[in-house]
Amino acid sequence: MREALAEWRPVIDDAIAEILPREVDGDDLEAFFGEPTFAYDPEGIQRALADPLWDLLDRGGKRWRAVLFLVFVDALGEDPQAFHPYACIPEILHNGTIIVDDVEDGASIRRGEPALHHVHGEDIALNAGNAMYFLPLKILTHDPGDLGAETRLRAYEMLLYELNRTHLGQGMDICWHNERGVRISTEQYLEMCACKTGCLSRIVARLAAIVTDQEPAVEDALARYAELTAIAFQIGDDILDVEHSLGRAGEFGKEFGNDIREGKTTLLVLHAIETAGAERAGRLEEILETDANTDEEVADALAIIEDVGSIEHARERALEFSEQARGALEDLPVDLELEPRAQLLEFTEFVVDRDV
């Protein structure tokens, strides 16, 4: 799967550039958005939309959602090249959520550089991030794959459903790290993952099934695989944040102790509070409640999480979800092409074992 990510990433960036050019002019705007009522301002749109969007994209990112879409299409027996524009839909959506998420969290660093709202301002960052929720819908409107009205309607309805659930997950996450104390269950945390991270992955799988005209049972099974893999990915992301801060991970592109500083409730935190004993659990909650942590406080929190085996516990749970995702592929009511099927199986391991 790592080879697929490396191979397909430049293809995805080229496809995004075809839809959202790096350099905007009046013709581009009219072609994508329609004729203006009076007159567009290409310079303003360049600075407010194109520049921040490409600033983020050019910093890196694995493009795994877009690549996974193309792997699904390939596995379902269709030519991925015919569906490049549709692969951009989940990638643009994902990057939009990143921009908004960083503003909401007050994040300092994204992909190794200052978060976009520190570079372009909160107003431009929020507008650009919100626009990226809607820009992908124009791809369906333009219908580069000649899908037909019923198929496009099915895709529209799917996107609206999944994006609404995405915001449920984000809402829960924001609420929890703004609260005093930790009150949620592991099941509620996992539901947040299924919504916030899982729904974007479900979009990848369901869109691939829709544009290749699969039966609903195939769409549902692929969505189950994607959701379970995404939950494993989110837990892996939480583990990486801790291991990066402990000096054991690769270049992670976030601030030292990012999740601790944001007061995030993760699976590692839940396990540590349950197992650390009253005094150390109370200390961990106290640190998470603090608005601005010192490096020493972050180190204390990390030590508690490490000492009680929360990293190992979280990794075991992530591996469980990866195994369940592989089982979802076994339950598919259609046969997949062998090579992309192997890539899908490998991907369930990559999301846990990665170091970036």
The domain ranges of the chain are 2-353
Do the strands 113-114 and 109-110 form a parallel or antiparallel pair, or are they unpaired?
Answer: antiparallel
Query: Cα 27 from chain centroid?
Result: 32
pLDDT in tens, the chain (356 residues): 677 788 888 999 999 999 899 999 999 999 999 999 999 999 999 999 999 999 999 998 889 999 999 999 999 999 999 999 999 999 999 999 999 999 998 889 999 999 999 999 999 999 999 999 999 999 999 999 999 999 999 999 999 999 999 999 999 999 998 888 899 999 999 999 999 999 999 999 999 999 999 999 999 999 999 999 999 999 999 999 999 888 865 555 566 788 999 899 999 999 999 999 999 999 999 999 998 899 999 999 999 999 999 999 999 999 999 999 999 998 898 999 999 999 999 999 988 887 66
Using H for helix, E for strand and C for coil, what is the string for the chain?
Answer: CHHHHHHHHHHHHHHHHHHCCCCCCHHHHHHHHCCCCCCCCHHHHHHHHHHHHHHHHCCCCCCHHHHHHHHHHHHCCCCHHHHHHHHHHHHHHHHHHHHHHHHHHCCCEECCEECHHHHHCHHHHHHHHHHHHHHHHHHHHHCCCCCCHHHHHHHHHHHHHHHHHHHHHHHHHHHHHHCCCCCCCHHHHHHHHHHHCHHHHHHHHHHHHHHCCCCHHHHHHHHHHHHHHHHHHHHHHHHHHHHHHCCCCCCCCCCCCHHHHCCCCCHHHHHHHHHCCHHHHHHHHHHHHCCCCCHHHHHHHHHHHHHCCHHHHHHHHHHHHHHHHHHHHHCCCCCCCHHHHHHHHHHHHHHHHCCC
Cα separation of 159 and 163, whole Å? 6
pTM above 0.85, yes or no: yes
Going from the C-alpha of 14 to that of each of 46, 113, 144, 211, 297, the distances in angstroms are 18, 23, 15, 21, 44
With b for 16 or more beta-carbon neighbours within 10 A and e for fewer, the 87-110 pattern comes to bbbbbbbbbbbbbbbbbbbebebb
Cα separation of 336 and 242, whole Å? 37
CATH of domain 2-353: 1.10.600.10
